[in-house]
Amino acid sequence: MSFGTVPVVGVDALDADSFILDVREQDEWDAGHAEGALHIPMSEFVERFGELTEAAEDGRRVFVMCRVGGRSAQVARYLVGQGLDAVNVDGGMQDWEASGRPVVTDSGAPGTVV
């Protein structure tokens, strides 16, 4: 399955070791996110791109997530164009939460997807 030239996977393709990049905005992140995800809002992505390349320097696949998959598809397409192994997570955090995967706040408390 693909979104244009970007591979697309569902949340079921992610495991505990998957490298997740969350591109939602700060208020969405604060409400709840996948534990261990790297947060770089799409609105800040170009200026903070170095944070991602540093975190993903081992060359592992980057699973890009947003709320449902639109913003993450755009970022994943950009990353693929930059030569990174990136995929868009279809359904994003909504499907993550619906599948029963944990959503947490920065303090580790249960969170929610907004």
**The predicted structure's pLDDT at residue 50:** 94
Cβ atoms of 40 and 51 closer than 8 Å: yes
pLDDT at residue 57 in the model: 81
Q: Is 66 a catalytic residue?
A: yes
Q: In Å, what is the CA distance from 109 to each residue of 14, 38, 74?
A: 22, 18, 30
Given the residues 20, 66, 79, 87, the one annotated as active site: 66
pLDDT at residue 3, rounded to an integer: 52
| pTM of model > 0.85 | yes
Nearby residues of 47 by Cβ (< 8 Å), 6 or more positions away? none
Largest CA distance in the chain: 37
pLDDT by residue for the chain (114 residues), tens digit each? Answer: 545 578 999 999 999 999 999 999 999 999 999 999 999 999 999 999 999 999 998 889 999 999 999 999 999 999 999 999 999 999 999 999 999 999 999 999 999 999
Compute the chain's Rg from CA coordinates: 13
Inter-CA distances, 53 with 5, 32, 47, 65, 76, Å:
21, 24, 12, 17, 13
